[in-house]
Amino acid sequence: MSVCSRLLALLLAAALPAPALAAETYALVVGIDQYPHDVSLDGAVKDAEDVYGSMVAAGFQAVKFVDAEARKDAIRKAWTDLVERSVAGDTIIFTYAGHGAQMPELIAGDEADGLDEFLQLPGFDRSRMAETQNEIIVDNEMNAWFAEAESKGVHVLFVSDSCFSGGMSRSVTGKTRLAPAVTVKLSPPSQEAIAGANLKENAFKQVTVLAASLESQPTPEVIIDGEPRGALSWSFARAVEGSADRNGDGVITRIELEDYVFSNVKNQSEALQVPNFTPQIARSDSEVVVRLTRGLPAADGSAQAGGDQQAAATPRPVKSARDLGWTGSIALDIAGGGDRPANADGSGTPFRWDVATGTFYTPNGDVAAENVGRDRIQSVVDKFVLLDLLKAMASQNPGAVSLSPVRDIYAAGNRLRFDAPPGRYGNMLVFNLANTGEVQFLDMQTAGTNSAEFKLTDVEIVKPYGADHLVVISTDEPVDAIGAVLADRAATPAALLQALLTRLDGREASVAIQPLYTRETL
């Protein structure tokens, strides 16, 4: 090509309109373990690192503050910078893992319960509240921040892995992300704390808040992959990696995020938590809260959702359980001597078996099984190895099941109902992994039969007590061979594990898990 031809080509290229760009996503990530003036946490920084890593891998422009870096002035400046950088249609995701707390409302009549909630930063000291109250972020202030973004047409997703109130009936050894309440009335820490009192979360049009639990529940740190973690942060990180993008179109809708997070928080917290969205109902079926296509030319003719162009849907690869971190073993501490069962030499926070009493405890401190002798310990261990496999599968494609009434734990004589709605797959398996280590077959539906919702109604809680796990697997893969294993009255967790590894590992399948913790009396 001649010099003149090259020059003409460059001039023509410069004259053409630039391609439309997909909206950008920015992220502000905060995680605090070290509280010099309060009880420190164990998993909030891991949460922040995990979420930050998933954001960066997704191509988001992210900034992170952990422990002593998490000063209010630094966080406020980072937020201001992100809002200034954003344009209409962009998204800012703000995630927080650490202590939350409550205090008397700053503005009289502002809160229905008379209490303001706040995020507690490391510099806050209850013994010097007047001097250090600038190191809290009050809910009113957050409303003012959100309003700044919304005024520019910028979407906001706030993910709070902390708690502000609540108590639990389960025995959990992990720390709770709840700092003691402030009981004296403080002066507003900023002008924003006054102005923001007139702004309510449900009045925003482009702000979504995702909290780790209902206000009546605690937010405990639970053991995930052997380490203390926040179940919401872990689930949100997996969501951003793409697991919540069920149809593979490059965006995560509010409904997709809700379905994914509800199921996986329940799985990872062993039903201790129910996440809470504000607003409670999605604004539309196509409301987008996370965009996984950023700053790239928007494809011509792509589908529309919430006014934003989306990438063409592409199938998501299904990873094997081992690629997702499943090891095929658990860590087990044996109190009182005894031979170590197979598959019990894993690492991380251990399960615990008290040989003298026969009590088997989860890493979270719950009683998982009673009267576990040497004749049953292998089956109980194998159950939890199998359960870890099922949780790994569910992290990619969770299903939906429910128990009602909803409780942390059920007592002898309580009655409940279990529902498994029909899914989008042709085949379904339903079974229970009992606290005894037994596999109990409940139902199998295959293509060509009249598939329908599976229900257990008026189920009464009876002994033995501990932790059962009701499981529903839905898939288009053949399930007859797995069903044959389940239907065998001598079925064991080890046999079912092998069947699932052979038939479904790495293949598309939806997995729903419903933990069911019971005891004789509450």
Residue 11 in any domain: the answer is: no
The mean pLDDT of the chain is 88
pLDDT single digits (tens) 73-126:
999 999 999 999 999 999 999 999 999 999 888 877 677 777 889 999 999 999
155 with 293, same domain? yes
297 with 398, same domain? no
CB 229 within 8 A of CB 46: yes
CB 405 within 8 A of CB 443: no
Query: What proportion of the chain, given as a percentage, has pLDDT over 90?
Result: 72
The mean per-residue pLDDT over the stretch 166-187 comes to 82
For residue 119, list its beta bridge partners: 100, 137
Closest among 267, 164, 146 to 212, alpha carbons compared = 164
263 with 154, same domain? yes
Residue 335 in any domain: the answer is: no
Residue 341 in any domain: the answer is: no
301 with 429, same domain? no
CB 155 within 8 A of CB 212: no
395 with 305, same domain? no
Residue 90 in any domain: the answer is: yes
Residue 104 in any domain: the answer is: yes
107 with 231, same domain? yes
CB 103 within 8 A of CB 115: yes
Rounded Cα distance between 261 and 274, Å, is: 9
| Domain interval for residue 50 | 27-309
How many domains does one find in the chain?
2
Residue 82: what residue type? Answer: L
Residue 352 in any domain: the answer is: no
pLDDT single digits (tens) 181-235:
898 888 888 877 777 767 665 678 999 999 998 877 789 999 999 999 999 999 9
Rounded Cα distance between 53 and 521, Å, is: 44
Tokens 């251990």 map to which residue?
350
143 with 31, same domain? yes
Q: What is the CATH number of the domain that holds 469?
A: 2.60.40
380 with 297, same domain? no
pLDDT single digits (tens) 396-447:
999 999 999 999 899 999 999 999 998 789 999 999 999 999 999 999 999 8
Residue 256 in any domain: the answer is: yes
183 with 42, same domain? yes
For the beta sheet containing 100-104, the strands, ordered from the edge strand earlier in sequence to the opposite edge, are 100-104, 115-120, 136-138
Pairing of strands 207-211, 222-224: unpaired
293 with 410, same domain? no
Tokens 């399948």 map to which residue?
509
Residue 354 in any domain: the answer is: no
SS3 506: coil
Q: What is the CATH number of the domain that holds 67?
A: 3.40.50.1460
Q: What are phi and psi of 172, to 5 degrees?
A: -120, 125
